[in-house]
Amino acid sequence: MTLLTTERGKLDAVAKGVRRSGSHLAGRLEFGNECDLSMHRGRSLDVIVAAEIISAPWIDLVRPERFAVASLAIELIDAFCEPDLAVPGIYSLLLGTLQAVAHSDAPQSVIPRFSLRLLEMLGLGPPCDDCVRCGGPLGPDVAFIDAQAGGFIDERCRERWRDLPTITLEDRDNFRSVGADRGAGATMNARTAVARAIDELMTHHLGRRPKAGAQLAEMAQP
């Protein structure tokens, strides 16, 4: 299994016999659970020898939409985080996201803030006030989201033949709030244009559409 740990970041480990009904690990190493682990180094993989549950959102995550959103968050962190590199900020972000998803009646609303916060922590978050192409201030005029450039661009830098999504000043204010630290004007409510812009940026940096994102899109279809 793949773990995200406080001390070593992402790592792969094996839990021998966990599928047996009598295993002392059974029920503890469920998807999304936070555990205090005892491990020892094996020849190729670390081996989990004991686990004590700290928090167990699993029972609240098994609903289809919640599970898909939680899977999306974990898929993105797995894709972006390097093995054996501690990422305490991302660890805390994942914990908070799983808790929010486990208790949300609209779990998909959690995705934009999680995604933008993850990009910010990875150093990939775009500036809200400057054009990423020319570096000039965007001002109050309508801007455009150019995922290939990594952020917002102004009218002067937009190629006329490209049909890019427009972003208003209100959208940029909302974008800034969605990505803000807690207590610094942060919001969970992303405007439609902002949610799409964040999704485009995440897809660009990931290099593909997340697999769990496709599952969510299927759920949204009537």
> What's the total number of domains in the chain?
1
Split the chain (222 residues) into runs of 10 and give each run's mean pLDDT. 93 87 82 92 86 90 92 96 94 95 93 96 92 92 92 91 90 94 86 95 93 77 56
State the residue for tokens 């952020």.
151
Confidence (pTM): 0.90
Identify whether 29 is part of a domain: yes
Identify whether 3 is part of a domain: yes
pLDDT at 191: 95
pLDDT at 52: 92
pLDDT at 215: 76
| Residue 28 domain boundaries | 1-56
pLDDT at 144: 95
Identify whether 195 is part of a domain: no
